Amino acid sequence: MAHIPVLTKEVLEYLNPKANENFVDATVGEGGHSAAIIEKNNPNGKILGIEWDSEVYNITKSRIAEFPDRIILVNDSYINLKEIVEKENFKPVNGILLDLGMSSYQLEKSGRGFSFMKNEMLDMRYNSGNQKSKIKNQNYITAENIVNEWSQEKIEEILNDYGEERFARQIAKKIVEKRKVKKISSTFELKDIIKEAMPSKFLYGKIHFATRTFQAIRITVNEELDNLTEFLPKAIEVLSSGGRLVVISFHSLEDRIVKSFFKNKSQQGLVKILTKKPIAVSRNEVLVNPRSRSAKLRAIIKN
């Protein structure tokens, strides 16, 4: 399945790119949103694209070769936004997009265990390169470390906090029980353990029974919520007056952080909220791109 950027029409509406303006695509992925923005900010507007996954970065770099003067691509994490903007002397910043969704490449081709639909090793790092991580100690922890080495209490805690999994205790207990017999090293092994731990009547709901556990582990491995919390104030800082910040989140934990931050900055008089309620994906878009179903967009403009 080719990568389909979510809420593209809405991103353009709320970012409102105009001729010669500059935008940061803080999670550029495979470049879908950037391709839409670059058409609107011509002839001289630029995009600074940031991508932490070095494999996705290399794919995207080859795709954007036709815009050598207008797209700057950086292999780094969005939490280093301020430093990247300063290093690239990228000014003014008229808008920033942060799309927290995963790319199709990561799910389907990375081989890093993001999907329980493929039998892969339990890695789940967005960047599994050997270089020292720019994000705290990210490169030193994998999904396999968590399920095989963390205590039952700690695993239960992340399943509760980051997965909002109602059967967190049962799943954590079953993981610890199974790893005593054999190391858990693949996505299918973990999926089978989750299935065994849950009451059978909860195995066939609207959301796949393994979704919340895989989400919780991935968030933990990549410190996703901490990174989002760290990024938001930096985004406000680098935005020019009248600049816009658009954030697309994919689960309630992310959306809560964004909503709370926007409300707080609005009360301080620093920004104006453009979306009273989060913008959800249309039914038509979900039919074309089922992965987009949980996406929510919020936007602000800097005073």
Digit-coded pLDDT (tens) for 157-204: 999 999 999 999 999 999 999 999 999 999 999 999 999 999 999 998
Structural domain span for residue 206: 137-222
Q: Is the pLDDT of residue 222 over 50?
A: yes
| Strand, coil or helix: 121 | strand
Domain-terminating residue out of 192, 222, 252? 222
CB 97 within 8 A of CB 11: yes
Please count the structural domains in the chain: 2
**Torsion angles phi and psi, residue 96, rounded to 5:** -135, 135
pTM of the complete model: 0.90
> What's the whole-number average pLDDT of the chain?
90
What would the mean pLDDT of 209-229 be, rounded to a whole number? 94
User: Does residue 270 share a domain with residue 215?
Assistant: no
Q: Kindly report the CA angle at 250 between 84 and 45, in degrees rounded to 5?
A: 40
Q: Is the pLDDT of residue 133 over 50?
A: no
CB 97 within 8 A of CB 246: yes
Q: Is residue 237 part of a domain?
A: yes
* Most distant pair of Cα atoms in the chain: their distance: 62
User: Does residue 93 share a domain with residue 240?
Assistant: yes
User: Does residue 54 share a domain with residue 88?
Assistant: yes
User: Does residue 213 share a domain with residue 72?
Assistant: no
- The CATH number covering residue 200 comes to 1.10.150.170
Digit-coded pLDDT (tens) for 288-303: 877 778 899 999 999 9
Digit-coded pLDDT (tens) for 232-257: 999 999 999 999 999 999 999 999 99
CB 74 within 8 A of CB 84: yes
- The CATH number covering residue 90 comes to 3.40.50.150
User: Does residue 290 share a domain with residue 243?
Assistant: yes
